[in-house]
Amino acid sequence: MNLGKWGIGLAVALNLTGTAIAQDAETPVAAQNGATAQPSACELHVFPTTEGQAQTTSLLSGMGVLGAVADAASHKGKNVSDAEYLRDALGPQMQMEALQSVDLPAELSMPADTQIVYETPIADRKITTKAKTRLSDSSAPCYAELVITQNLYQKKMIYGRSLNNRFIFKDFRDGVQKAKLVKGRGGNGLSHFPPENEDGIEAADADLREAFVKNFLEYSKKI
């Protein structure tokens, strides 16, 4: 079951309570039969990002340092407005909704009954990109994290428009205290973002969501 953080606490609490009652009721039978208790489900904690970056470049970027500087200056206003729109259109809520269309446990090689917890974004990139310890307070023995660390819109003269995302998977299973960071990215083209007017907003949002999901699926092949 995929829920936002505001609802997962109650859902998990109810689930664990129900499990405890069932185990208590069945303990005498299990003990008589020599059965062992089933391990608790794994947890996958997902950390969306609040980032939104935009980069528009022209042929000037291929003309050395001075050309790149001039290119950045000429597109400064456009990059700022596109970044602001991206942060809003592909914010944490939309990232969560997009990932709910994907079988996250299967893509990340985790058990099918893995509980998915959507966490509050962490703004400090030094923490999200470098910390090898857990980012949540969970002490579950079967535990992993998926961290989205970048939302980048690019428009290039030759290649056109695209959305690029970076991800990190941290696997703490088997008693690992410091996980290996599996970093990667995905990049796919855009056809409708950014919208030219209000009539194009719906198509632009769908365009972003589709590209975001494709980017994650590109990344997850490395897990």
pTM for the whole structure: 0.74
Domains and CATH numbers, the chain: 40-220 (3.40.50)
Residue 150 to residue 50: CA distance in whole angstroms? 9
Element (H, E) at 43: strand 43-47
Per-position DSSP letters for 158-212, written without gaps between them: TTEEEEEEEEEEEE--TT-SS--EEEEEEEEE-SSPSPSSGGGHHHHHHHHHHHH
Instruction: Give the pLDDT score at 189.
Output: 97
Closest CA to 153 of 183, 121, 128, 188: 188
Q: Is the dihedral of CA 114, 116, 122, 128 positive or negative?
A: positive
Is the pLDDT at 116 greater than 70, yes or no? yes
What are 87-110's pLDDT values in tens digits? 999 999 999 999 999 999 999 999
pLDDT of residue 57: 64
Cβ(109)–Cβ(115) under 8 Å?
no
Task: Tell me: pLDDT of 168 over 60.
Answer: yes
Cα end-to-end span (Å), the chain: 22
- Would the pLDDT of 204 be above 90? yes
pLDDT at position 181 is 95
Neighbours of 96 (CB within 10 A): 19
The angle, 0 to 180 degrees and rounded to 10, between the axes of the packed helices 64-74 and 76-89 is 60
Q: Is the pLDDT of residue 205 over 90?
A: yes
| Residue scoring higher pLDDT (13 or 35) | 35
pLDDT at 75: 44
State the pLDDT at residue 79. 59
The per-residue pLDDT for range 47-74, each reduced to its tens digit, is 999 999 988 764 444 444 333 334 444 4
DSSP string for residues in 111-173: -TTPEEEEPPP---HHHHHH--S-SSS---SSEEEEEEEEEEEEEETTTEEEEEEEEEEEE--
